[in-house]
Structure formats: C-alpha cells, structure tokens
C-alpha cells in the first residue's frame, strides 16, 4: 500500500492523518445461535482491528459467518463471547451515535417513497434526526449519478440504480463506517463493475471506513485494501491480508499480473477452507 487513502477527508477528519486509529476492534468474538442440542456456532474466536479509513473486504465460503460478523458490528446481532467496539463505543452506542450506516443486499428501499424521500429517511427517524450534521440528499444523488430521478419511485428504477439510491441513503448521515453486506450480489456483472469503480471513488471522496462482505474473489481483491478471509464450520479467521495494488484503481487493474497473483492467492486460500 502506498500511503494513506484519504485523499479528500471532507466528511470525516477527526483523527490525526498520520496515525491510523482503529475504527472497529473485534476481540475473541464467538457467536452462537440456538440452545442446547440445537446450538450452532456461527463464529469462533475472531479477533481483528479495522484501521480508520480502510476499505476491508470480507470473503469466505457460504456459512463462514461473514454477514454475521458484519451484523455484530451493526448491532443487529449480539455476540455470545468477546467484544466488538466501534470507535471505542459498543455497537449499540455507535448505532445511536450514527457512527455507521448499513447497505443491504437488496436495496431495501421503501417502495412507497420517492428516491429523494428514501435518501432522506435517516433524517426523519431516530432521536438524532434533527440534530446531526447531515449531508444534502440532492447532492448525494448527484454524486451517485441519479440527479434528475429524485421523484422516481423505486419500481421505476433498475436494480443498479436502486442500489445507488441505497448507497446515497447510507451516506446521508455522514457515517464514519459504511457496512455493506453483498450490496452488488444481485446485480449483473457489467453493473457490478461500474458500481465497484464508483464505490472506490465515493470512498476516496468521503474517507469513510468501509467493511464490505462479498462472495466474489475479483470484487474482494479489486475493492479491498485488506481482505479478511473467513472459513466455515465454525466461522473463524483464515487470513487478514493486505492487497498490494495502488490506488486509485480502475477496472483495468484487473488485467495486470499483480491483480491475478492476488486473486490466485485468494482462490487458493478459499480452496483450503473447503
């Protein structure tokens, strides 16, 4: 990696730029579902630090608990053992402080609201609705390339456009961390490639830390500064590796030998997991 990725820390600049603080700290986390004989261990002994401003992709076979880990950070699932802290706070405090935003696999737009109303939703709900320092929904729609579609309803948009709206909605609270759970998993490859490139641009413009779950090796390698590889049954850490490809990255980077070396390594790790 060549230097810090925060080219324009417009939205998030509390920490000293030279020292990368820890955005998310995961310590000895176990997650178990069910009771007694039905108990299933979803995650076991996970420990990892996500540096502030980093783009970390999480990769692993299905059932490895990558989404579960993301949901622990988002305060959607409680850990059974160990601890998760987000900027030194518990996930619950971080949620109430609007430290993070979540992007789901399907865009999860409210179908009765227009594009603009969907992006504005976080400004209407929650205790902090009127007090926060929030981004302008129209400007965000412009940034994700949807200027002019403010009054469209979700069913009038393509899958890729709906996901752009979801990303704009996530960014409207100026989150310090963006948690993304296979956000482009349901899209066709061409749309996914375009959104990958745009997401990198958004990351560099905002300086937000991104935790991104995917099951695509090229996506994990192309987006991530680091790849967190998990293995299944029970879900545990396989490797936390740095991706030595320079930023800004364009799609052409995927045709380089270095990129192929990274994906080949990831594929080998993934095969070891099986």
Partner 1 sequence: MSNAATSLPATPDRRLGSVLDATAGVLLKHMPAISAGLGLIVLWQLIVWFFEIPTFMAPSPVDVFFAFQENAGILWANLLPTLLEAFLGFVFGNLVAILLAIWFVHSRTAERAFYPIAVFIKAIPIIAIAPILVLIFGNGLAPKIIIAGLICFFPTLVNMVQGLKSASPAMLDLMRVLSASNTEILWKVRLPSSMPFLFAALKIAATSSVMGAIVAEWIGSSFGLGALIIEATYNFRSPLLYATVVIAAVMAVILFFLVSIVEARVIRWKPAANH
In the complex, least distance from residue 169 CB atom to partner 1, rounded to whole angstroms:
9
According to the binding rule CB under 8 A, does residue 29 interact with partner 1? no
Of 48 and 121, nearer to partner 1 (C-beta) is 121
According to the binding rule CB under 8 A, does residue 185 interact with partner 1? no
In the complex, least distance from residue 48 CB atom to partner 1, rounded to whole angstroms:
21
Place of tokens 């745009």: 198
Place of tokens 């930023």: 247
Among 107, 199, 213, 237, contact with partner 1 (rule: CB under 8 A) = 107
- The site string for partner 1 over 108-137 (x = CB under 8 A, - otherwise) reads xxxxx--------xx-xxxxx---------
Q: Cα(177)–Cα(174) distance, rounded to whole angstroms? A: 9
Instruction: Determine the interface stretch with partner 1 among 44-52, 99-107, 136-144, 216-224 (rule: CB under 8 A).
Output: 99-107
Sheet holding 81-86, edge to edge: 40-51, 22-33, 81-86
Provide the token pair at 48.
């990892």
Decide if 273 contacts 61 (C-beta within 8 A).
Answer: yes
Place of tokens 């409680």: 78
Q: Cα(44)–Cα(243) distance, rounded to whole angstroms? A: 25
Give the closest residue to 171 by CA, choosing from 98, 66, 226: 98
Q: Interhelix angle for 159-171 vs 115-124, to 10°? A: 30
Among 12, 52, 75, 182, contact with partner 1 (rule: CB under 8 A) = 75
Of 93 and 263, nearer to partner 1 (C-beta) is 93
Of 67 and 204, nearer to partner 1 (C-beta) is 67
Q: Note the residues at the interface with partner 1 (CB under 8 A).
A: 74-76, 95-96, 98, 100-102, 104-112, 121-122, 124-128, 153-155, 159, 162, 186
């Amino acid at each position: 990696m060549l230097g810090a990725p925060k080219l324009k820390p417009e939205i998030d600049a509390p920490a000293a730029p030279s020292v990368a603080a820890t955005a998310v700290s995961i310590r000895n986390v176990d997650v178990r579902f069910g009771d007694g004989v039905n108990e299933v261990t979803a995650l076991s002994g996970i420990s990892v630090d996500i540096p502030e401003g980093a783009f970390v992709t999480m990769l692993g076979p299905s059932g490895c608990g990558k989404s579960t880990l993301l949901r622990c950070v988002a305060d959607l699932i409680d850990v059974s053992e160990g601890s998760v802290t987000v900027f030194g706070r518990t996930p619950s405090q971080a949620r109430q402080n609007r430290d993070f935003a979540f992007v789901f696999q399907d865009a999860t737009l409210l179908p009765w609201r227009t594009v603009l109303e969907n992006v504005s939703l976080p400004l209407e709900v929650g205790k902090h609705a009127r007090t926060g320092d929030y981004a302008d929904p129209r400007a965000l729609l412009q940034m994700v390339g949807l200027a002019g579609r403010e009054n469209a309803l979700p069913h009038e948009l393509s899958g890729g456009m709906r996901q752009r709206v979801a990303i704009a909605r996530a960014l409207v609270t100026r989150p310090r961390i963006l948690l993304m759970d296979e956000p482009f998993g349901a899209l066709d490859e061409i749309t996914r490639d375009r959104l990958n490139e745009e997401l990198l641009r958004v990351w560099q413009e905002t300086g937000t830390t991104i935790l991104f779950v995917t099951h695509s090796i090229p996506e994990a390698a192309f987006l991530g500064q680091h790849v967190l590889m998990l293995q299944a049954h029970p879900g545990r850490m396989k490797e936390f590796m740095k991706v030595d490809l320079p930023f800004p990255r364009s799609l052409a980077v995927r045709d380089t030998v270095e990129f192929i070396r990274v994906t080949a390594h990831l594929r080998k790790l993934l095969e070891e997991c099986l």
